[in-house]
Amino acid sequence: MHSPKTLKNLHARLLEWYQSFGRLDLPWRNLPTQSHTPNPKLTHIQRSYGVYVSEIMLQQTQVNVVLEHFYFPFLERFPTLKDLAQSSEDTLLHIWQGLGYYTRARNMHQTAQICLHHHNGTLPSSVAELTKLKGIGEYTAGAIACFGFGKCESFVDGNIARVLSRLFALSAPTATQLKDKAHLILNHTNPFDHNQALLDLGATLCTPQSPSCLLCPLSYCCQGKHSPHLYPLPKKRESIPLELHLGFVIQDGKISLVQSQEKLYFGLYNPIRLESTHLQNYRYLGSFKHSYTKYKITAKIYQLPVSYNTQARFFTQQEIQHLPLSNLCKKALQFL
């Protein structure tokens, strides 16, 4: 697969498939290009920001969820990186509700502020500078550089890693091996469509379970197609059980909430965390199951007496609707 002729054939087959079956209608793939505006610099500013928002949202969230519920409302509220930088963190977290992994939102806020003060209010265009920003790793930096600024960059996410692992029959590839393979097959003439095609191939055909090898444009040269389940070998993800005791004080029609300082829910409003002692003194309301990152949570909800000593703030039901709440808190509030 090292000869120019072989690579040219691979590029042609991949791009032909992408033009017919790729997800060409995704909005972050149809941002302004130089053909749409007389100002190429403005084009890159608009495009890179739209790509940046989509890539951060897609890090831990499915495409359909981002597309249907979050991408457009976010850009409507924060149409530019400057708007994002000048917003409050509470406003951002409120818009982010439901996406989870709130560290992403806080990193975006910090990155926007850094860019406002050190990069003239825009994202830098090089991978080296992008990776210096909060929450932007090598993949995200490569995607922004390629899709946002038109740079010829290769990069690897989970989907591309799976395609490369099967294409080269790598059962336990290192990050360096995957980066080398991605660079090896990079289409320098059309890196934008090439990388989008690899992403789509991994998302639609070269899936973790039951890949559609017969429909794959690269099956003719895929070294792992006869045993795709071996490439790469699956890694076991163990969940951590966690039991939480959560309480509310209701006083004068208002409900107590605490703005979390813990890493798990930093900046979000939650019920009062209770120790497992003295629970018998509180009114038990019920329990529910909840998953968050690697944790499998069992949450038990209590109503606390008005005399309970708390540093929590009190809010009306209407005020609560405008607070950045964790999904855990939303579920707990349903018991009141």
Q: Which residues are the active-site residues?
A: 55
SS3 325: strand
d(CA 21, CA 14): 10
Whether the Cβ atoms of residue 106 and residue 89 lie closer than 8 Å to each other: yes
State the amino acid at position 223 in one-letter form: Q
Token look-up 């629970």 returns 279
Between strands 295-304 and 240-251, the pairing is parallel
d(CA 175, CA 154): 13
Instruction: Please provide the DSSP assignment of 39-87 as one string.
Output: -HHHHHHHHHHHHHHHHHHTTSS-HHHIIIIIHHHHHHH--SHHHHHHS
Structure tokens at 173: 């590839």
